[in-house]
Amino acid sequence: MRRTAVARIWAAVVALAVVAGAAEPVPPAPPVEPLMLPLGAAAWSGAVTAVAAEPGQPAQLRWQFEAMDGIVCREIPRDMTGFNALAFTLESDRATTNRLSVILYSHNEAAEGPDYYLTTLPLDFAGSLEVILAFDEMGVVRQPRGWDQVDQLQFHNNWSREPEVAPQQLTFSRMRLMRLPPGGAKGPRLDDEAFFAMLDLDRPELAAVREAWRAGDAAGARRALATHVRQRQAPLWTVRPEDRPSLGATPPAAHPGIEKGGRYQAVAALAASGWQCLRLPLADFRAEGTPVGWEWVSGLRLSWRVEGDPYDGRELHLDDVALVGPGGRRSLGDFESEATG
């Protein structure tokens, strides 16, 4: 009996030791050093100008949109699994409505069409901007082989095939692959100067913010803006049911004509194969039935038909469906991921 008791006590001590050892924190993995990508003209195809590094200035790559719609670099690691983000400093000479597409090709021979990872950035700024593109936030187009088989890096200024591209010059520097820590890049991603430049400080309700900022008191401007957001009457962060804007409005089911049904329809001919930018002006839509009006649109439906045998293997691919007009541009679906198309 005594030996059994001793054995049990010893086993309990060993079990406690094992549990205590398992609770010790695991040391974090050592950081991965960024891998700088080449910015010399020899590494890039397309009309670019390389600027050699100088004291106090890193190497730069300049791209005039008028000269070339896209530039490509193949001198990149094919296996990028040791990294999880692409980063670079981007300088724009002017603000435009152009958009910069960043494409990492990973072509899959087993699938039809090009396969790649894609992110699109608005170029509505002038000056310098630090860009960090996490791989897991890039859209997946078709069936890329994976981050261990990347073929090339491409920048394009008109991936959605708009009729016109505004003149613009972009300058890239400090282009690198990097590994973000768990949780990704931390904010803020804008400095105070860039942030307050985006605000319309001439608005009367931002007078306190304007006075503090123009007096050089950045902390005071931040406090004044926070106070304004907390105390403003409209728009509110959240809306209580009794304060909702639609209170008292006619419910959708009771709108005139809704019981009869109606729609607006436009038809466009696709005269050739290949990608093309299709624009449907509002004036080309005709009313069918009794639609309520353009101020009450409940959905969008796209359909197509072909002459002859409808099962002859033809395919229609869509990319970047958007509303455009005097108020700007609003994407309805860029199809870069399930969440955006």
Domain co-membership, 136 together with 200: no
Domain co-membership, 131 together with 40: yes
Domain co-membership, 42 together with 174: yes
What's the distance, Cα to Cα, between the start and end of the chain in Å? 73
Domain co-membership, 194 together with 171: no
Asked if the model's pLDDT at residue 3 lies above 60, the reply is no
pLDDT digits (tens, 9 = 90+) for 293-315: 887 787 788 877 777 665 566 77
Structure tokens at 54: 């100088």
Domain boundary pick from 123, 152, 178: 178
Nearest partner of 88 among 48, 37, 127, 42, judged by Cα = 37
Using pLDDT thresholds of 50, 70 and 90, give the confidence band for residue 209: very high
Domain co-membership, 102 together with 152: yes
Within a domain: 168: yes
Asked if the model's pLDDT at residue 4 lies above 80, the reply is no
User: How many separate domains does the chain show?
Assistant: 2
Domain co-membership, 163 together with 94: yes
| DSSP one-letter string for 59-83 | -EEEEETTT-SEEEE--S-S--TT-
Domain co-membership, 173 together with 45: yes
Within a domain: 339: no
Distance, CA of 302 to chain centre: 25
CA distances from 272 to 70, 232, 275, 307, 309 (A): 23, 54, 9, 13, 17
> For the whole model, what pTM was predicted?
0.56
Question: Is residue 123 within 8 Å of 95, Cβ to Cβ?
Answer: yes
Structure tokens at 296: 């009450």
What's the pLDDT at 133? 93
pLDDT digits (tens, 9 = 90+) for 230-248: 888 877 656 566 666 566 6
Domain boundary pick from 157, 178, 199: 178
In this prediction, residues 188-210 reach a mean pLDDT of: 87
Using pLDDT thresholds of 50, 70 and 90, give the confidence band for residue 221: very high
Averaged confidence pLDDT in the chain:
81
Within a domain: 154: yes
List Cβ neighbours of 316 (8 Å cut-off, separation of 6 or more). Answer: 270, 304
Within a domain: 105: yes
List Cβ neighbours of 314 (8 Å cut-off, separation of 6 or more). Answer: 306
| DSSP one-letter string for 112-177 | SS--EEEEEEE----EEEEEEEEGGGSEEES----TTS--EEEEES-TT--S-----EEEEEEEEE
Within a domain: 54: yes
Asked if the model's pLDDT at residue 25 lies above 70, the reply is no
In this prediction, residues 188-195 reach a mean pLDDT of: 77
Range of the domain at 196: 190-249
> How far, in Å, CA of 134 to CA of 326, rounded?
33
Q: Which region among 138-142, 147-151, 214-218, 270-274 has the lowest average model confidence (pLDDT)?
A: 270-274
Domain co-membership, 127 together with 236: no
Asked if the model's pLDDT at residue 21 lies above 80, the reply is no
Largest CA distance in the chain: 98
Within a domain: 150: yes
Beta partners for residue 103, in sequence order: 118, 154
Within a domain: 7: no
Asked if the model's pLDDT at residue 260 lies above 70, the reply is no
Within a domain: 341: no
Domain co-membership, 124 together with 40: yes
Domain co-membership, 105 together with 201: no
Quick one: how many helices (H) and strands (E) in the chain?
A: 4, 16
Domain co-membership, 172 together with 56: yes
Domain co-membership, 49 together with 150: yes
For the chain, percent of residues with pLDDT exceeding 70: 77
Domain boundary pick from 154, 178, 202: 178
- Percent helix, strand, coil in the chain, to 5, is 20, 25, 55
Which CATH number goes with the domain that contains 111? 2.60.120.430
